[in-house]
C-alpha cells in the first residue's frame, strides 16, 4: 500500500492518500479545494491514478475538492449515504466495504460530531489504520454544537465503535492543531482529556457543553458547498475572494 498524509495549513485539515501498488489506483480521504494542485502533483509523482474521493462527513471549516477533482480526473465521489447527496457517485455505509485494488476500507458509522459522520478502518499488512475524521482527534474530539451534533451520541460512537478496536490501531484524524500526526486507540482510550481514562458520559457531556468555541469562519460557505460535493455558488465565490483580499491586505 502507498500512503501519504497531507495537510492544508490554513484549516489544519489532513488529507490522506491511499494507493494500490498493484493497480496504480488511489483515493483521497477528505480532500481540500485549496490543495488541488498539490494533491494532483503528489499523485502524478507517485505514478498513480485518482479513482475516488472519500468524505468522512460534511465539513464546516473547509470546502471539499471532490467535485473539482472529479471534473479533472474523472474520479468518483464517495459520501456517507445518509446525506442523500445527488452529487455523490458512491453512497457509503457500514454494510458496504469500499474496495480499491488490494485495499478495502470498512466504514464505521460514528455520529455525534455530525449526524452522518463515518470513520474508515483499513487493515493492511497486519496493521490497523483508522481514519477517524472529527469523531476522535489526538487528545480531543470534534465539537457537537452544530450540524445536528450530539455529545451523548459522540460518546457512544467513540466508546462503542473506536475504543473497542485493537489497542495498536493507528488513529489518523481529520485535523490536528498542534502539528501532531498520529495516535493510537490505546493512547486515546487511556489519556484523551475529553473521552479517555474511563470518563463517564455525564463528564463528557459537561465538557462539551462548556467548550465555548467560536463560530467557524467558513461554515456558512463550506456547509452549503459541501452538500454539493464542493461546488461553490457565485455569491460564495465572491465572499471567498473578498475574504482572501482582506487577508492579503493585512
- Supply the pLDDT for residue 71: 97
Residue percentage of the chain with pLDDT more than 90: 90
Q: Model confidence over 79-124: pLDDT tens digits?
A: 999 999 999 999 999 999 999 999 999 999 999 999 999 999 999 8
| pTM of the predicted model as reported, rounded to 2 decimal places | 0.92
Calpha distance 240→245 (Å, rounded) = 9
- When pLDDT is cut at 50, 70 and 90, the band that residue 247 belongs to is very low
Asked if residues 53 and 89 have their Cβ atoms less than 8 Å apart, the reply is no
Domain ranges within the chain, ordered by starting residue: 2-248
pLDDT score of 237: 42
CATH number for the domain formed by residue range(s) 2-248 = 3.60.15.10
For residues 88 and 229, the answer to whether their CB atoms sit within 8 Å is yes
Summarised one tens digit per residue, pLDDT across range 44-70 is 999 999 999 999 999 999 999 999 999
pLDDT at 232: 86
Q: How far apart are CA 162 and CA 147, in angstroms?
A: 21
Question: CA 206, CA 199: separation in Å to the nearest integer?
Answer: 11
The residues near 10 (Cβ < 8 Å, ≥ 6 apart) are: 34, 62
Instruction: Quote the crossing angle between the two packed helices 36-45 and 66-73, to the nearest 10°.
Output: 50
Residue 168 has pLDDT above 80, yes or no: yes
**What is the pLDDT averaged over residues 37-43?**
98
* Cβ pair 155, 195 in contact under 8 A: yes
- pLDDT score, position 126: 85
CA 217, CA 62: separation in Å to the nearest integer? 9
Q: How does pLDDT run across 202-244, given as a tens digit for each residue?
A: 999 999 999 999 999 999 999 999 999 999 874 444 344 444 4
Integer angstrom CA distances of residue 27 from 50, 98, 116, 205: 6, 11, 21, 35
Under 8 Å CB-to-CB from 73, ≥6 apart: which residues? 40, 49, 50
Amino acid at each position: 500500500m502507498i500512503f501519504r498524509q497531507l495537510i492544508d495549513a490554513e484549516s489544519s485539515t489532513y488529507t490522506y492518500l491511499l494507493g494500490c501498488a498493484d493497480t496504480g489506483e488511489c483515493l483521497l480521504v477528505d480532500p481540500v479545494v485549496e490543495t488541488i494542485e498539490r494533491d494532483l502533483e503528489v499523485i502524478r509523482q507517485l505514478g498513480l491514478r485518482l479513482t475516488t474521493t472519500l468524505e468522512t462527513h460534511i465539513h464546516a471549516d473547509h470546502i471539499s475538492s471532490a467535485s473539482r477533482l472529479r471534473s479533472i480526473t474523472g474520479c468518483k465521489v464517495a459520501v456517507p449515504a445518509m446525506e442523500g447527496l445527488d452529487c455523490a457517485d458512491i453512497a457509503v455505509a457500514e454494510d458496504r466495504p469500499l474496495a480499491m485494488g488490494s485495499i478495502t476500507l470498512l466504514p464505521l458509522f460514528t455520529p455525534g460530531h455530525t449526524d452522518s459522520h463515518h470513520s474508515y478502518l483499513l487493515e493492511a499488512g497486519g496493521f490497523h489504520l483508522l481514519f477517524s475524521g472529527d469523531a476522535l482527534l489526538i487528545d480531543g474530539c470534534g465539537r457537537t454544537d452544530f450540524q445536528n451534533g450530539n455529545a451523548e451520541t459522540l460518546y457512544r460512537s467513540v466508546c462503542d465503535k473506536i475504543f473497542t478496536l485493537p489497542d495498536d490501531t493507528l488513529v489518523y484524524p481529520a485535523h490536528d492543531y498542534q502539528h501532531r500526526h498520529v495516535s493510537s486507540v490505546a493512547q486515546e482510550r487511556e489519556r484523551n482529556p475529553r473521552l479517555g481514562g474511563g470518563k463517564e458520559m455525564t463528564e463528557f457531556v459537561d465538557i462539551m457543553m462548556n467548550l465555548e468555541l467560536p463560530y467557524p469562519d467558513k461554515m456558512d460557505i463550506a456547509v452549503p458547498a459541501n452538500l454539493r460535493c464542493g461546488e461553490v455558488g457565485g455569491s460564495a465565490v465572491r465572499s471567498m475572494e473578498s475574504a482572501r483580499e482582506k487577508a492579503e491586505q493585512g
